[in-house]
Structures are given as C-alpha cells and as structure tokens.
C-alpha cells in the first residue's frame, strides 16, 4: 500500500507555510517574566550552604558529547562527565588508558553528539546504578557507572548512521535500543557503493538491541532488526501490559534523500513502529537470525587495571521481519513524529508530530486487538500498517504548536513540550483534556519529570531544556549558554521556580532521588586491588626502565611530592611514558600531572589509580613537571625535572627522589 503523496502545488504551499511558521516562531516571547514567577520561588529552590539537593539531574551535553550532572532543585552544576568527547580537565581521551574508550572501527574518534541520557531500571523504575547515553554521529552507546560517575563502557553500533532513537531501556535493562536516524545501504563494499538516487531499492534501516552485562556493564549487541528505509527518531519501551514491546517514531516515510525539509514532509502521516522484542529475543535464541557483516568495537573500563579494553566483533545477528510475521507493525502517526513516549501505566503511546496540530494517543489494548483482527490499512515495504482509527485512544486537540516530547507525573497527567509556541502543556492522559500551560524561555526541546518516563514518576518538578536563550542571562558574546528552567508541578498549575544555564546543548535528561544513587558511591580505589601493569604501589616500586626507544617511568604521587622527582638519561628520539600511581587512600585527593611541551592534556589521577601520559621530548634541556591540582599547602612544591640529552648521549638512565618519606 502506498498512500498518495501530496504533490499538488496547493498542498506544497500549505506545507511551506507550516515550515515558515515552524522556522520563524523560534524566538517568540511569551508573557512577562514577572507574571510567571511566584514570590516564594527563591525559598523553594534554595539549598543552603552545606546542604544537598534532593535529586541528581543528568543532562545531555548535545554537541559537547558529554553528560552534565546538576542538583535539583538548586540547578547547581555538580560535575561534567566525559563520555564521547576528550576532556583535558580529566585527561579522558588523552591518557594512554582512556584512549581505548573512544576507539571505533574508524579509529580513535574524539568527539560525538550526545542526546538522550537514560537511567538503568529495575521493575520499570530507575535504580541508580547506571546511566546510558547515545552518541549520534558515529553511532555508539555509552554506559556511565553512577558509583564513580565515569564512563564504564561504550559500544559501537554497526549498520547505523545517526544513532538518535537511543538508548532507551527495557524495564529491567535487559536491553537498551539503538535505531538509525539515517537509512543507508549496507553489506559488503559493492552493496554500499550505490547511487544515492537508488534510496528506495538499496537503503535500509536497523534497530539494535544491546545487552549490558548486569555485573560488569560490558555491552554486546544481542540482535539487530532490519527495517524499511526510513528515519527513526525516538523510542520508548512498553511497560506493564505493553512490556515486551518497543515503540519507535519514524519520519521520512516518503523515502526522500534530498531537499528533506520539503520532500520528507509530504505525507499526512508517518509511523510509530511497534516491535515485539520478546518475540525477537526468542527468534534470536532459536538461531533464526543471520550473522551479517557489521564490524564494531565494544570498549570497557577495567576497574582493576584502570584501563580500557576493547573487543572487536566482526558481525552482528540480524533478523529480517519479512521472514517473521508478527515482529513489526506500523501505526500511522500524523506529520513527522519526533517524541515517542509511553505513559506510566503502559497503556498509552504518545506520538508527537512536529508539524501536527494535535497529539495522537495510541492505545496498546486497541493495537493488540487490531493485530488480532488483522485490521490493516495495507502494508509498507512488507510491514503491516494498522488502521489509525483502530489503534487510536484519542487526540489532544489544539495543544499548542510544534509538540516534541512528553513526560508524565504519577497522577495520570502528561506534560508535552511545544517548540514553536514555546510552552509546556499539561493534559490528562485518559480524558485528553488540556489542563494547564506555561511559557518557556525560549523554544523548549526536551522536558523532564524525575522518573517521568518510568513506571513510577517521582513528579514534583518538570524541567524545560530550551534551545534558545536570547536575553535570559548576561550576554557573553555571540554564543549564549543554553538554558534550563525548573517548574513545580505539585499543584494544579505549573509554576516557574528557577532558570539555570547548562553546558553544551541539553536534549533529554533524567533525574533520580540522590538517596537511590548514594549507596553505591565510590570514594577512592583500593591500592591493593590495583592491577595496572605499570603500577607502583609504594615509593619502593618506583623506577625507570628503557625498552629500546621507550622509557617507562613508574612514578607515584602523595602529598606533596612525586617519586621519582629527578630523571636523567632521556634522549631525543625517545618516547617517554609517565605511569603515575596516586598512593592516596582518601576521598577527594586527586593529583595532577603535566609536563612542559606535552602535546597532550594533563592527567588527573584518582586515589589508588594509575594513569599514563605519553611524552615525546622535542629539544635538549631540563624540563619541569608538576602537579596541576591544588592538593595541599605544599602543592606548589609538588614538582620534578627530566633531563633530556642529545640522541647520541651516554648519560645513564637514572631516577631519584629526595623526599622526607621516600623509604616508606
């Protein structure tokens, strides 16, 4: 079945007008600020000095490639976690140990675009163990361990391009998903080298189900489902009655490949794709899939060696839905849906058509009934398309302009972000009645309620993550910090409480009570458990070794000196590796390491950890190194020298330390 495309110039004109609206209203200013803020807003967000916030708020950094952690309700920035981009502050991606985290089949990739943090879940509720996030550009998923707030593993997604509808989780984090934004030709070289014009014949999509090991957090791709060539945008797992299903929004069902802003908006409806992942899991288990080319890296942080390890997989298990009826269904969804959200009861699926003037709410029960009754309007590239009217619970009429994303509270209400009309709209999931609306400043993208995409939202707040900041803060040149806004949802009416700037561009975010995260907190690494091959677990183990052109310095740090702090016998042409072990066994006492002229960032070494900086000296002389983190009253004394001699020098390789406790 192919529905007719809107090709008449009249309809194109109408579509054009919608784009104009969509593009031109991005700075529209709602009511005045004064009217929007209550008098007691300050006391409701004030966290007094020394007191803690109630929630951790993990926010995507967008084009920063990282995840930022804020406290709520204060909006205070607590930490920026390096994930997909190198981070000179911590040495992530610069130290020899961390480079492997960013390794891919295309080599070392130092940047990505991170969009959707998703907390791991137990019984459909965030459990405070991990936070996943997608890398959009070079398709990857990362897992952050909330014991350390560090990236613990990263897996590359093969046969994908633009990993956007990712990494949403099933109710017990059996899987996180990755759906490709761009469809592409796949397979061997000759099948990939095809004219772009052959999109319809040759381009396909995939959705992948990634399994994180519950113990180690190491990830592998359990199976991948091949789909028609469309763009996947967002997704969410079913829960409760819809547990076992996954829902993905798709656009560009026109299968356009150029002038997308017009050509991919022709159809009146695109789709929500429903995936029976329990069935897929069963098929995979029964060996029904096919191993197809799909080389990818799975990188994992080994907490004992304090180093990244990479496993390279050559292929991936793929399922073809054409061979397995019942695996995939399409539900028609108006106008280029973006968000795809499932309410806490698991009964309703919300599609948010960016260009639609309503919000369709689908009923899982009706979807099951339509499947059972074979109530189809046809098929799309071999996949059954259910009838819109048959699967619809109802439509939210006139909610606002440019609906993007929906989150939920525990009382049956939904909160939808409206990009074009710059507002949050609250509505009731059962009655579909609009209950309240508040302006956002400006052009909200995602929004987030603590636990708001889970079975049991904690509610209390909704946070808007805005695309445009304009005049909200003191100007800082052409680029302004992006902006988040905190609203109370405890009463019937939403109330603006706080604005706070964010790092990078926030897309999605998650929040969780701090009490659920803190029991796993790691304060330092036990030195006796350090299995780094170049660790020096005491100053007696410090030394220098030459292996041809490589010089390995086994170094330690403790307040307030390095051992060794004088090294001689390094020659031009050598590669010097400083393997620095931080001997401290105390909370919050990292030491830093930097050496003059290093074409590299510093190291920041946590207590009990070993990290390595590679340095290639470029000239003869005596070169200082020092600790970069103000660690004690004698931090400024924490320094050393390396003597670099000409390539033909006969100065012997020696290292010595003159320090008060060198023999400890």
Binding site for ligand K7E (CB under 6 A): 115-116, 164, 234, 338, 404-405, 445-446, 507-508
338 binding partner (options ligand K7E, ligand CUA, none; Cβ < 5 to 8 Å by kind): ligand K7E
User: Judged by CB under 6 A, does residue 46 bind ligand CUA?
Assistant: no
User: Judged by CB under 6 A, does residue 595 bind ligand CUA?
Assistant: no
Task: Name the β-bridge partners of 236.
Answer: 247
Q: Minimum CB separation from ligand K7E for residue 404, in Å?
A: 5
Pairing of strands 290-302, 269-276: unpaired
Distance between CA 232 and CA 210 in Å, rounded? Answer: 17
Tell me whether residue 150 or residue 507 sits nearer to ligand K7E (CB atom): 507
Residues 551-570 that bind ligand CUA (CB under 6 A): 557, 560
Distance between CA 192 and CA 188 in Å, rounded? Answer: 6
630 binding partner (options ligand K7E, ligand CUA, none; Cβ < 5 to 8 Å by kind): ligand CUA
635 binding partner (options ligand K7E, ligand CUA, none; Cβ < 5 to 8 Å by kind): ligand CUA
Which two structure tokens, joined as six digits, stand for 662?
């060198």
Which two structure tokens, joined as six digits, stand for 402?
């440019």
Stated as kind and residue range, the H or E segment containing 509 is: strand 509-513
Which range of residues in 145-153, 189-197, 526-534, 626-634 is near ligand CUA by CB under 6 A? 626-634
116 binding partner (options ligand CUA, ligand K7E, none; Cβ < 5 to 8 Å by kind): ligand K7E
Tell me whether residue 303 or residue 507 sits nearer to ligand K7E (CB atom): 507
Tell me whether residue 270 or residue 568 sits nearer to ligand K7E (CB atom): 270
Q: Minimum CB separation from ligand CUA for residue 586, in Å?
A: 12
Q: Minimum CB separation from ligand K7E for residue 165, in Å?
A: 9
> What is the rounded radius of gyration, in angstroms, for the C-alpha atoms of the chain?
27
Q: For 541, how many CA atoms within 13 A lie in the half-sphere containing its CB?
A: 14
Neighbours of 211 (CB within 10 A): 18
629 binding partner (options ligand K7E, ligand CUA, none; Cβ < 5 to 8 Å by kind): ligand CUA
Which range of residues in 280-288, 357-365, 518-526, 628-636 is near ligand CUA by CB under 6 A? 628-636
The three state secondary structure string of 148-181 is CCEEEEEEECCCCCCEEECCCECCCCCCEEEEEC
631 binding partner (options ligand K7E, ligand CUA, none; Cβ < 5 to 8 Å by kind): ligand CUA
Q: Minimum CB separation from ligand CUA for residue 596, in Å?
A: 16
- Using CA atoms, how far residue 142 sits from 248, 545, 654, in Å, is 20, 36, 42
User: Judged by CB under 6 A, does residue 605 bind ligand CUA?
Assistant: no
Which two structure tokens, joined as six digits, stand for 277?
């992942």
Tell me whether residue 316 or residue 404 sits nearer to ligand K7E (CB atom): 404
Burial class (CB in 10 A: 0-12, 13-18, 19+), 138: buried
Neighbours of 473 (CB within 10 A): 13
User: Judged by CB under 6 A, does residue 524 bind ligand CUA?
Assistant: no
Distance between CA 186 and CA 227 in Å, rounded? Answer: 12
Q: Minimum CB separation from ligand K7E for residue 295, in Å?
A: 26
Which range of residues in 254-262, 338-346, 401-409, 622-630 is near ligand CUA by CB under 6 A? 622-630
Neighbours of 127 (CB within 10 A): 18
Size of the chain in residues: 664
Looking at 286-442, list the stretches that DSSP marks H as alpha helix, in order from N- to C-terminal side.
364-372, 388-391
User: Judged by CB under 6 A, does residue 226 bind ligand CUA?
Assistant: no
* Site residues for ligand CUA per CB under 6 A: 557, 560, 591, 627, 629-631, 635, 638
């Amino acid at each position: 079945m192919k529905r007719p495309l809107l090709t008449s110039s009249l309809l194109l004109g109408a579509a054009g007008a919608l784009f104009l609206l969509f593009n031109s209203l991005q700075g529209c200013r709602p009511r005045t600020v004064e009217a929007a803020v209550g008098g007691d807003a300050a006391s409701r967000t004030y966290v007094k000095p020394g007191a803690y916030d109630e929630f951790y708020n993990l926010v995507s950094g967008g084009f920063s490639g990282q995840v930022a952690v804020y406290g709520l309700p204060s909006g205070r920035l607590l930490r920026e976690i390096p994930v997909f981009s190198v981070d000179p502050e911590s040495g992530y991606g610069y130290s020899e140990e961390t480079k492997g985290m960013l390794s891919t089949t295309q080599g070392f990739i130092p940047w990505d675009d991170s969009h959707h943090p998703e907390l791991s879940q137990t019984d459909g509720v965030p459990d405070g163990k991990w936070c996943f996030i997608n890398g959009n550009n070079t398709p990857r998923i990362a897992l952050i361990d909330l014991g350390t707030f560090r990236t613990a593993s990263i897996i590359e997604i093969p046969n994908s391009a633009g990993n956007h509808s990712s990494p949403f989780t099933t109710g017990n984090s059996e899987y996180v998903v990755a759906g490709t934004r761009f469809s592409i030709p796949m397979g061997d070289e000759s099948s990939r080298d095809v004219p772009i014009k052959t999109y319809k014949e040759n381009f396909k999509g995939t959705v992948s189900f990634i399994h994180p090991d519950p113990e180690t957090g190491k990830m592998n791709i359990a199976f991948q489902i091949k789909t028609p060539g469309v763009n996947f945008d967002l997704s969410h797992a079913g829960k409760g009655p819809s547990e076992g299903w996954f829902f993905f929004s798709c656009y560009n069902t026109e299968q356009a490949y150029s002038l997308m802003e017009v050509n991919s908006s022709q159809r009146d409806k695109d789709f929500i794709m429903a995936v029976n992942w329990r069935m897929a899991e069963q098929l995979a288990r029964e060996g029904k899939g096919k191993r197809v080319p799909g080389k990818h890296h799975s990188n994992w942080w080994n907490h004992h060696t304090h180093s990244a390890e990479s496993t390279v997989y050559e292929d991936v298990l793929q399922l073809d839905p054409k061979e397995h009826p019942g695996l995939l269904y399409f539900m028609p969804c108006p106008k280029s849906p973006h968000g795809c959200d499932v309410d806490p009861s698991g009964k309703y699926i919300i599609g948010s058509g960016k260009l639609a003037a309503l919000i369709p709410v689908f009923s899982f029960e009706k979807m099951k009934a339509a499947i059972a009754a074979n109530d189809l309007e046809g098929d799309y590239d071999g996949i059954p398309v259910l009838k819109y009217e048959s699967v619809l619970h109802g439509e939210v009429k006139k909610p606002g302009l440019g609906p993007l994303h929906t989150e939920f509270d525990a009382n049956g209400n939904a909160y939808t972000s409206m990009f074009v009309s710059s507002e949050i709209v609250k509505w009731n999931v059962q009655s579909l009645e609009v209950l309240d609306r508040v302006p956002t400043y400006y052009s909200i993208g995602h929004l987030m309620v603590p636990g708001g995409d889970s079975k049991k939202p904690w509610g209390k707040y909704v946070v808007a993550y805005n695309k445009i900041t304009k005049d909200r803060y003191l100007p800082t040149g052409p680029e302004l910090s992006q902006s988040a806004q905190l609203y109370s949802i405890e009463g019937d009416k939403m109330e603006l409480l706080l604005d706070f700037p964010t790092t990078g561009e926030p897309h999605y975010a998650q929040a969780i009570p701090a009490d659920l995260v803190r029991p796993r907190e790691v304060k330092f690494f036990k030195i006796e458990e350090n299995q780094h091959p170049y660790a020096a677990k005491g100053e007696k183990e410090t030394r220098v070794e030459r292996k041809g052109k490589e010089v390995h310095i086994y170094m330690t740090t403790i307040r307030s000196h390095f051992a060794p702090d004088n090294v001689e016998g390094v020659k031009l042409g050598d590669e010097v590796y400083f393997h620095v072990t931080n001997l401290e066994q105390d909370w919050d006492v990292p030491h830093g390491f930097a050496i003059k002229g290093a074409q590299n960032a510093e190291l920041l070494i946590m207590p009990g950890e070993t990290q390595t900086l590679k340095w290639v000296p470029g000239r003869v002389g005596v070169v200082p190194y020092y600790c970069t983190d103000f660690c004690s009253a004698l931090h400024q004394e924490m320094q050393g020298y390396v003597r670099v001699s000409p390539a033909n020098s006969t100065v012997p390789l020696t290292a010595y330390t003159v320090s008060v406790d060198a023999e400890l």
